[in-house]
């Protein structure tokens, strides 16, 4: 039964993207007729609860990381994360800023990183194809890693957020 669900998930993926800085520049061409993301079964969604894929583009500051974690935790399982650009890997050209998050994968599980500054639409599609293959094979399991290693991710988040009255996120119910 899981194989059928993985096959169906790989064929119909709904995308939520979080764009910061220059990361949003390469996404609009992916939706236009030249590249046509919908022919891959990928379409945009407006809310995290409707999305399967979370595409994070550009750099993240500590302040925006809070929104990313909240959005990720609102998504339903199974869910997949793509880190788009060098900023999600190591902070990119903002690597030496105290407010820049250096590796998104320490705070939420990233299934695929797309290298480059900025990655071209072809690289984005290559990553989507790879993600579809991983889903079909049952290898894209970042959402399971998040549950299994929740304390690791939460500890990393706590170090950055210094949770207080402005951070009112309840502990998610993990099954």
Which residues are paired to 116 by β-bridges?
Answer: none
Per-residue pLDDT at 170: 58
Is the sign of the CA dihedral 130, 133, 139, 141 positive or negative? positive
pLDDT tens-place string over residues 131-170: 989 998 888 889 999 999 999 999 888 888 876 555 555 5
Which residues are paired to 15 by β-bridges?
Answer: 44, 53
Which residues are paired to 16 by β-bridges?
Answer: 54
As a whole number of angstroms, the distance between CA 174 and CA 166 comes to: 23
Domains of the chain and CATH, by start: 2-161 (3.40.50.12280)
Please say whether the beta carbons of 43 and 15 come within 8 A. yes
Length of the chain: 175
- Residue % of the chain over a pLDDT of 70: 84
Across residues 75-85, what is the average pLDDT?
89
SS3 100: strand
Name which of 39, 18, 40, 173 is nearest 110 in CA terms. 18
Per-residue pLDDT at 167: 53
The model carries a pTM of 0.82
Please say whether the beta carbons of 57 and 84 come within 8 A. yes
Please say whether the beta carbons of 54 and 84 come within 8 A. no
Most confidently modeled range among 57-61, 75-79, 119-123, 171-175: 75-79
């Amino acid at each position: 039964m899981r194989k059928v669900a993985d096959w169906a998930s790989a064929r119909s993926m709904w995308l939520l993207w979080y764009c910061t800085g220059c990361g949003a520049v390469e996404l609009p061409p992916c939706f236009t007729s030249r590249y046509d993301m919908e022919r891959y079964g990928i379409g945009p969604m407006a809310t995290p609860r409707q999305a399967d894929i979370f595409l994070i583009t550009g750099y993240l500051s500590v302040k925006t990381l809070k929104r990313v974690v909240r959005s990720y935790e609102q998504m339903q399982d199974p869910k997949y994360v793509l880190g788009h650009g060098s900023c999600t890997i190591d902070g990119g050209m903002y690597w030496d800023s105290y407010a820049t998050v250096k590796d998104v994968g320490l705070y939420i599980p990233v299934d695929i990183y797309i290298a480059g500054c900025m990655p071209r639409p072809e690289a984005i599609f290559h990553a989507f194809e790879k993600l579809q293959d991983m889903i079909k094979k049952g290898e894209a399991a970042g959402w399971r890693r998040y549950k299994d290693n929740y304390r690791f991710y939460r500890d990393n988040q706590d170090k950055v957020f210094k949770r207080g009255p402005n951070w009112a996120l309840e502990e998610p119910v993990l099954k």
